[in-house]
Chains A and B, each alone.
Chain A
Amino acid sequence: MTMDGMPRESHHGPTGPAPITEADLHAYVDRQLAPDRRAEVEMFLSTRPEDLERVRHWQQQNEAMRGLLDPVLEEPLPLRLPLQWQRPPWSWRGLAASVLLAAASAVLAWSWRGAVDAESVRQASTPAPRALVAAEGGGLTGFAHQAAVAHAVYSPDVRRPVEVGADQEQALVTWLTKRMGTPVHAPKLGPLGYDLIGGRLLPGDQGPVAQFMYGASGGQRLTLYVTHDATVQDTAFQFGRDGSVNVFYWVEGRFGYAISAGADRDELLKVSQEVYRQLKPG
């Protein structure tokens, strides 16, 4: 070992490579060595079967610990975890209030589901389904415009297109649900060629707005913008354009949805119908 117990960073003294220490073997297992030092350790191990056996076992320990603990990553987050800054951090009253609020919005969401159910039954029996009333829009207004702007701002961001990535989908969904005050989830668009990249929370007119971002294999991005405070009446699918961003949007209850992408109208309509299908209750 070196003086401070760390694997060496400078490998060559005046007399050739520095001797291999136990710290080097650990750093080898944990992939914390520079490539040439790594090669020296490999060389060393090739002539030392006992050390090699030891190193192999340490590697297996790491793998086994990950096998034991990684399933935790997939678990839904327990609701008791505080997911945002709270004024007095140990206020039971505050906690109770937010639980109440969550319960109330869950009830609202359910009754909303009921209402929409009736609505969709009605629609299914009418000759002109909502999907085909797409108005040929020009300029966008309201949340559809904001959705297009948000798409234009965040989708070209290569480094940080989302706040919470799809690898933490559970955390993302729990967080957005808490912040929006209503159940939110990301539709699965894999069959249409779009994989979830992640999401972020944005300021809307009256409250937070969720943006989910999807990516296609060719690099094209598509965003779904969900607002909880739509002020207009229910609308059919509408199409509009803002610069190079095409948007399909619709309103249901208090929810406004907008799908934005550079893709053409037909492609967007296909995605919109799928999103509508998945977010539709029942």
Chain B
Amino acid sequence: MRAQDEADIVACIPVLRRYARGLTADPDRADDLVQDTLERAWARFSMWHKRGEIRAWLFGIMHNHFVDRLRAQRSRPQDATGDEGLDMPQRATQADRLELRDLERALRRLSPEMREVLVLVGVEELGYREVATVLGVPIGTVMSRLSRGRERLREELQGRAGASPQASRIQLVK
């Protein structure tokens, strides 16, 4: 493999770690996910054929590993709560930290499928079509997960702040 390709993958690692941490708050589990992804990526590199952006390809591999892990976890219910939020990186002030905690907790309560979409769109700034490709679902599914995920977060976070509940209902826009 060319040094440039190798460097391209290496350059994606910090971003992969950030995305994994969005999926799984436990840093060790998140790095397990990154490690699996990289091992697969190095082994499968020849299959990539430069059909698209390398970052999206890596996110796709990570998605597959994430789904496998979820499946394994769901068949062992005692582990299902194992990744409840812990140890997020913290460098904020006391007040900010509280808000980040709330957000983190609210994120944990979303379904993993919604979390994937919210983080890919909101943090990794992927286009909606790219997200659909990464997750292997139709774009309509991406949009509905995005919509439900965002509204659920809003309910959770504004609920805490004491906002009126009717304002957080999903409204049909004419």
Contact = CB atoms under 8 A, between A and B. Distances in A.
B65 interface: no
Q: How large is the interface on A (under 10, 10 to 19, 20 to 34, 35 or more residues)?
A: 35 or more
A177 B80 CA distance: 38
A149 B72 CA distance: 53
Interface of B: 1, 3-4, 6-8, 10-11, 13-15, 17-19, 21-22, 31, 34-35, 38-40, 42-43, 45, 88-92, 96, 99-100, 103-104, 107, 118-119, 121-123, 125, 127-129, 138-140, 142-144, 146-147, 150, 153-154, 157-158, 167, 171-174
Contacts of B103: 61, 64-65, 68
A170 B14 CA distance: 9
Nearest to A82: B38
A165 interface: yes
Nearest to B4: A163
A89 interface: yes
Could you tell me the dominant secondary structure of chain B's interface residues?
helix
A82 B39 contact: yes
Interface string A44-56: 0000001101100
Given A61-B122, A85-B42, A72 B89 contact: yes
Contact of B13 (A32, A67, A81, A163): A81
A175 B7 contact: yes
B99 A64 contact: yes
B13 A171 contact: yes
A175 B10 contact: yes
29 contacts: A5-B142, A22-B147, A26-B146, A32-B128, A53-B167, A61-B150, A62-B123, A64-B100, A65-B107, A68-B88, A68-B107, A69-B123, A71-B89, A71-B90, A71-B91, A75-B17, A77-B14, A81-B38, A82-B42, A83-B38, A84-B10, A84-B42, A85-B42, A89-B40, A89-B43, A90-B39, A163-B3, A163-B8, A171-B13
A163 B3 CA distance: 9
Contacts of B121: 30, 62
**Residue from A27, A61, A68 with most neighbouring chain B CB atoms (10 Å):** A68
B35 A164 contact: no
Contacts of B31: 78, 80-81
A30 B21 contact: no
A231 B1 CA distance: 28
Given A26-B143, A30-B125, A58-B154, A72 B14 contact: yes
Nearest to A58: B150
A23 interface: yes
A81 B173 contact: no
Interface string A169-182: 01110010000000
A83 B10 contact: yes
B153 A5 contact: no
A19 interface: yes
A51 B172 CA distance: 10
Contacts of B13: 77, 81, 83, 168, 171
Given A69-B21, A163-B11, A26 B123 contact: no
Given A4-B140, A26-B150, A65 B3 contact: no
**Residue from A69, A82, A202 with most neighbouring chain B CB atoms (10 Å):** A69
Contacts of B43: 89
